[in-house]
Structure 1
Amino acid sequence: MSSILIKDCRILQTYPPFEVLDGKDVLIEDGKIVEMASSITKKADDTIYAKGKTLMPGFVCGHHHYYSGLARGMQISAGPQNDFIQILKEWWWRLDRGLAEESNYYSSLICSMEAIAAGTTAIIDHHASPSAIAGSLSVMAKGMTDVGIRGIECYEVTDRNRGMKEVEEGVDENVRFAEEVDKMKKKDSSYPIEAMIGGHAPFTIPDEGLKLMRKAEEKTKRGMHLHIAEDKYDVVWSHHFHNKDIVARLDDFGLLTNNTLLVHGLHINDNEVDIINKRGVYFAHNARSNMNNHVGYCSRISKINNLILGTDGCGGNMLEEIKIAFLKHKDEGGPWWPNDFLTAETRANELLSKYFNAKFGRVEKDYQADLILIDYENPTPLIKENLAGHIVWGMSSNSVDTVIVNGKIVMEGREFCNIDKNRIFAESSKIASALWKVVDKIKP
């Protein structure tokens, strides 16, 4: 049984109720916090002398697209991208068709490393590689575990390239991976990867596909992870072809539960919000991505009970996401303040608790040891009442010093413990260049 003792830290409880606790020691054994006190004398395998640094739960990215990890600065010929569907066709749907096993793996490595460096200890990912579906989630999971991050993976079911055959392959991959995770957990209950049943968006999933997804949920005992109403196109499609609101259509198939994660929802209506809240659905808001794609603003986020924050592929830096989500909300005249967005960000720990059957999100006894140590010097008083304000206006991911996931140190002194960053970055650059050449040849 491995153990870590953290000496003399200031603890921030960022999952409500907020707290600031000075001068604490924290003892971790076998992946969990077992003691927090003013002074712990027990010996441990590793001792971290925090010297007043700030210890807090790691951040959780409620929605990511790891498959975009090698797209930064991508050089390809592309047509006009004047609306969201053109952006998908000219850019992302060409990228995902170009992905293969090696590029999937390095996408996962790079995204995991950048998330860890920013203090994000868990990722809820949503994968797509239509030319390499079978086995792809295992490859993505390997990238996560090699770096040391916690993750929930799924494959986005869609018919956009090859009709129902592609739908079936996507469902099969979700089921196969969930069963693989179950086997891994029988061998090691602390295995840090879980599974969901992924879907792209309602406008690329026919009714038969939704039926298969529902069966997959029942078979695997997992929930669905799906984009909805990211653009008005999705709404118009649902009304035109199904004569229903998107959320009502999903609800008719029994796909909305307290284990469900819906994403975006910029163009849902109040009736749909009521259904989402009634079913206890989790809902990921992705402020930076929405701005980047010019798809509008989700003005109803303050009405959604189980709101969490994601990035939709815009990196894994949740400190930045909290800040931008707040600023964009204020720009739109919204009523929320930093504490509301910190609450939304940390609420994703509830999904981790459901899927990993453990406690997440606080520095307390019996909680999972997914923690970050930040070197933050506050020039004004830091108390529970203004904790969220310090996170939005003061803290930077550049100040993340040490990261612990599942009771293991994965980054210390801003140096990765399990991997060779320079080697991986050099190799990923070569793989990205090769991928871009493949994507450039793929027609929209």
Structure 2
Amino acid sequence: MLIIKNATVVNFSPPEFHKGWDLVIEDGMIAAAGPGASEGLTAKEVWDMEGAIVHPGLVCSHNHFYSGLSRGILAEIKPTPDFVSVLKNLWWRLDKAIDRDILKSSALVCSLDAIRNGTTAVIDHHASPSFVEGSLSVLKDSFEKTGLRGMSCYETTDRNGLAEMEAGVAENIRMAREIDREKEQGTWSGLYEAHIGAHAPFTVPESGLKLLREAVEKTGRGIHIHAAEDRYDASYSHHHYGEDLLVRLDRNGLLNSKALIVHGLYLSKEDRKILDERNSFLVVNFRSNMNNNVGTQNHVGTVKNAALGTDGIGSDMWEEFKFAYFKHKDTGGPLWPGDFLNFLHNGNILLERNFDSRFGRIEKGYKADLVVSDYLPPTPLKAENIAGHIAFGLSATSVRSVIINGKVVMKDRIFPTELNVKEIYSEAREDASRLWENMNQLKD
């Protein structure tokens, strides 16, 4: 049991502000929350917050942990004048250069960075064509070793041939079944779940969509796929299949309440209608869209379910929130910080649909995924202006301590001693250099 006393509790959706609350954390859950909630109880560990802010952990609803060693990349990269060139000359060379050790380093540093930023859950999307079978287990091990909650999937695609496409589907199924066995045996950590992954409709033929549908049906999981990130994807679908993107995915039985559609800049009106009818989610990634010069996301306020991701640009959701809001306003968008706080919070709905638990609030019966933040507001902090304080004040530098699934994974900005952080980062730098050299050695 962990007791947190005298906390200023902030909930994001609906927004709430409570002074002088106690929290009781037991068996991964919030067992009690409120004034005097810990009265008469004793615990091995008691924290006195002295009024510091405690809030729900943040969720990154789309990420690429395989890209963690691309920061400051020094590899020979041909010109990238358009979206397809960015994929072919950078990302599809990088993912092909990944081996087991490189992936392990990338996943570990990404997990630590997420926790350091107050991101307690990450929904990942993976690709490593030279290391398919077993790749999701490396990711799972990294999540569990650091204590990060999340999901991942393998990026099914035919861009390197049909055999690899089939191997990608098989890896998705393998991981889902591994988790199911752990649940049956009572050995599941409760931290890691699975999606069924695919790259994008323009790299998955009809035979691939059929395999993905079978995988979704066999495992009970949802599809996680990029769609309409660039006009090319939508045009390809019209050219080769005579259909809008999500019309095609829906015809193949891939859209349901666990489906996660990423980007969606060029979804048609019919696509968005289907997305809402199937209760699927759109995950938007403003910084990535800006970096790839693919356009601006204008649909985020028009769909039923929307959440925020980073598409591999780290796991700092405070920064993603700010970029998303300011880019939206820069293009004349009508939404306000409170709307984007709802999108950020909605990652918890994705967790609830996949983990069969309650997430995203400091309240009895919810998962104990919590963040302690040092933030001294220069103006009154109230329920009505929490989103404004995030947009213009709170940041990852405010994060002091992090609890995930009831376990302290970072306290006073220090990770547990069993995680040799310096060694992990030292190995990562060596693996990054090897990754870049592998990229240079790849032939077109």
TM-score with structure 2 setting the length: 0.98
Note the 1:21-420 alignment, pairs <5 A: 21-39=18-36, 40-41=38-39, 42-161=41-160, 163-186=161-184, 187-188=186-187, 190-417=189-416, 418-420=418-420
SS of aligned partner of 2:80? coil
> Residue 184 of structure 1 contacts residue 191 of structure 1 at CA under 8 Å; is this kept in 2?
no
Separation of aligned partners in 2, 1:55 and 1:443? 51
**Aligned AA (2:15):** F
**Residue deviations 1:370-418 (CA, integer Å, cap 9, x gap):** 0000011111111111011011111010110000001000000001114
> Residue 127 of structure 1 contacts residue 155 of structure 1 at CA under 8 Å; is this kept in 2?
yes
**Residue deviations 1:269-309 (CA, integer Å, cap 9, x gap):** 21211111111111100000000000001211110110000
> Residue 144 of structure 2 contacts residue 189 of structure 2 at CA under 8 Å; is this kept in 1?
no
1:149 Cα deviation from its structure 2 partner: 0.2
Counterpart in the other structure of 1:440: 440
**Aligned AA (1:241):** H
> Residue 102 of structure 2 contacts residue 435 of structure 2 at CA under 8 Å; is this kept in 1?
yes
**Residue deviations 1:166-190 (CA, integer Å, cap 9, x gap):** 1100000000000111122232355
Separation of aligned partners in 2, 1:189 and 1:87? 38
> Residue 68 of structure 1 contacts residue 107 of structure 1 at CA under 8 Å; is this kept in 2?
yes
SS of aligned partner of 1:11? strand
SS of aligned partner of 1:276? helix
User: Unpaired segments of 5 or more residues in structure 2?
Assistant: none
**Aligned AA (1:329):** H
Counterpart in the other structure of 1:7: 5
> Residue 290 of structure 1 contacts residue 296 of structure 1 at CA under 8 Å; is this kept in 2?
yes
Separation of aligned partners in 1, 2:182 and 2:44? 26
Separation of aligned partners in 2, 1:242 and 1:166? 23
| Cα 1:189–1:99 shift into 2, 3 Å | closer
1:18 aligns with 2:12: no
SS of aligned partner of 2:383? coil
**Aligned AA (1:430):** E
**Residue deviations 1:9-54 (CA, integer Å, cap 9, x gap):** 100111x211000111100000000001222231112212211110
> Residue 190 of structure 1 contacts residue 406 of structure 1 at CA under 8 Å; is this kept in 2?
no
Separation of aligned partners in 1, 2:433 and 2:271? 43
> Residue 119 of structure 1 contacts residue 403 of structure 1 at CA under 8 Å; is this kept in 2?
yes
Separation of aligned partners in 2, 1:190 and 1:378? 37
SS of aligned partner of 1:431? helix
SS of aligned partner of 1:121? strand
Separation of aligned partners in 1, 2:378 and 2:285? 31
Separation of aligned partners in 1, 2:191 and 2:363? 20
**Aligned AA (1:414):** R
**Aligned AA (2:22):** D
Q: CA RMSD in A?
A: 0.9
> Residue 97 of structure 1 contacts residue 130 of structure 1 at CA under 8 Å; is this kept in 2?
yes
Separation of aligned partners in 1, 2:59 and 2:195? 16
> Residue 308 of structure 1 contacts residue 346 of structure 1 at CA under 8 Å; is this kept in 2?
yes
Separation of aligned partners in 1, 2:374 and 2:51? 8
> Residue 36 of structure 1 contacts residue 364 of structure 1 at CA under 8 Å; is this kept in 2?
yes
**Aligned AA (1:301):** V
SS of aligned partner of 2:310? coil
> Residue 94 of structure 1 contacts residue 443 of structure 1 at CA under 8 Å; is this kept in 2?
no
**Aligned AA (1:211):** K
> Residue 179 of structure 2 contacts residue 188 of structure 2 at CA under 8 Å; is this kept in 1?
no
Separation of aligned partners in 2, 1:160 and 1:395? 42
**Aligned AA (2:438):** V
Separation of aligned partners in 2, 1:76 and 1:189? 40
